[in-house]
Each structure stands twice: as C-alpha cells, then as structure tokens.
A = this chain, B = another copy of it.
Amino acid sequence: MDILARIQNEQDQFSQSEKRIAEILLNDFDFAVNASIVELAERAEVSPPTVTRFCRRLNCQNYADFKIQLAKTMFVGARYLNPGTRSTAPADVAEDIVTKAQNALYLFHHAFKPEQAQVVAETLSRSGMIYAFGSGGNSSMIAQELQNRLFRLGLRVSACTDHHMQMMIAAAARPEDTIIGSSFSGRNMELVRAFTLAREAGATTVALSQSDSAVAAAADHALTIDLPEGDNIFRPTSTRFAYLALVDILANLTAYQNRAQATVTLRHIKHQLVAHRDGDDRQLLGD
C-alpha cells in the first residue's frame, strides 16, 4: 500500500503531533515533498525527532526513504487528494484528463486480483465460443475491444452490443461457451437477464463491473472495478482506462494459456498487414 493511503488509513490512531504532520502532508503536498525535516517540523510545530518517528511509524526506514515514497505517490496521487482544477485552459484540461486517467489505472491496479483474472483467462482459453456483451458507449467499446484482442489469439469470439441479439445468443449458448459482459454501472438489467439465460443454458458467464452490483452478482465470475467518478459532467469517465487495462491483461493472460496457437495467429495477421502495406514490419499489429 502506498504512503498516502497508509496515512489516511491510520489517521485516527495518530497522536496530536502526528496529526499535525499528517495534515500538512495531505494539504500541502508540494511543500512537504520539498521540505527538509527541520522545515516540516517547524511548520507542524513539533521537533525533528517527532517527524523521524512519524516516518518510522509508517514503515519507512528514515526521513529520506519517506520522502522518496511520498514523491513516488505524488505523481499519480496528488490530484486525487486535491480535487482537480476546473480551468478550461487547454493545457490544464489536458493535464487533468491525463492525471485522472493515470489515477484510474493506479487505483485499478491497487485493487486488482491476479488470481481471479487468471481463472477467467483459463476459462476464456478453453471456451468453445466467446461472446462479448456491452452496451452504451463505454461498455460497448469494451465488448468490441474484447473481440479485437481475443480474435488475434486464434479464439472464436464475437462482440454484440445489441440487447435483442444478446438475449438470443444467450439463449442459444452451449455449455462450452463463455459470455463476458461489461457494465460500468453494474445496473444494466438486460445484461443481467442475458447472464441468467446463459447460465440456464449451462454456459459460463463473466462480468466486468462494479462489485456489489446486480451485474456482478448475476455472473459466475466477476472481475470488479470500483473507482470514484469525477463530478465534472464534461469530463469523460476515466474509468474507461481501467476497463481497457483489464481487457489487455485478460487478453495477455489468455494468450499465455495457449502460447503456440496465439503466436501462429498473430504472425498470420502481421504477415497480412505487412504484405498489404509497405514491408516495414515494425508497424503496429493493426492500425
């Protein structure tokens, strides 16, 4: 766990002096990260040794170590603590969006459960047919992306973003099939119904969604992503970045399940692209 999370966690167990130090850290990050132990102590109205002890308490070797940890988290964590700007200047907008995206990835990674993903990857690689479901802009992108990443591995996969089709596919699913569906909100009831139908047909269902949600509860396996959303309605949801990363990880783990087959298929795709373009084989695997 990173240092800021630790500070926020233990905040109520801190002594008076420690609380004062923590407050400065959380409020004036910029100062804290550049301050010497004397300066920090002065500002918190405590003695330097108290600061040293504070660092030790947070599992840091010494003040220097503590500062390194702080600086490391700062890059991704700073904006998360201090709500982002509402500036409409292009440079600020860009910074805000990039930082939020990085934050989303960071928080996702923190909560990520490798074993669960591995189980899903094994399921996918053994599936007779994979159907990727999702609706409404964000999740439909994830469904498409699942298809885009998995077909490259030589798997049989089809994305479907249409409710009616989803229901028909779910009803027609076979026991060896897997239905993987995404819902950022977890409240896509049509997807819940499709999952239920698919399970009745004996197929395996995988949800990419919020934990404690109807969608997650309806599936055999749930890979959950719970991120706070910003409240600026103009800002597109940075959660997409986390979902996209999850798709990448799943695709990658699935590839390793049957490496030989994946390699062959990828080579065929690459060959086709290179032949079709201009012979530069450093090109991307698909535009």
Contacts and interface: CB of A to CB of B under 8 A. Distances in A.
Contact count band on A: 35 or more
Nearest to A73: B75
Given A109-B94, A138-B287, A184-B284, A252 B237 contact: no
A149 interface: yes
A135 interface: yes
A148 to B, nearest CB: 4
Specify how many copies of this chain sit in the oligomer: 2
Interface of A: 33-34, 36, 64-65, 67-68, 71-76, 88-91, 93-95, 97-98, 101-102, 105-106, 108-109, 112, 114-115, 117-118, 121, 134-139, 141, 144-145, 148-149, 182-185, 187-188, 229, 233-237, 239-241, 244-245, 248-249, 251-253, 255-256, 262-263, 266, 270, 277-278, 280, 282-287
B256 A187 contact: no
B277 A187 contact: yes
A255 to B, nearest CB: 4
24 contacts: A34-B64, A34-B68, A71-B72, A72-B74, A88-B256, A89-B114, A90-B253, A93-B252, A94-B109, A97-B249, A97-B252, A101-B241, A101-B245, A102-B102, A136-B287, A137-B286, A141-B144, A141-B148, A187-B287, A233-B270, A237-B284, A241-B241, A241-B244, A241-B245
A263 B233 contact: yes
Contacts of A90: 114-115, 117-118, 121, 249, 253
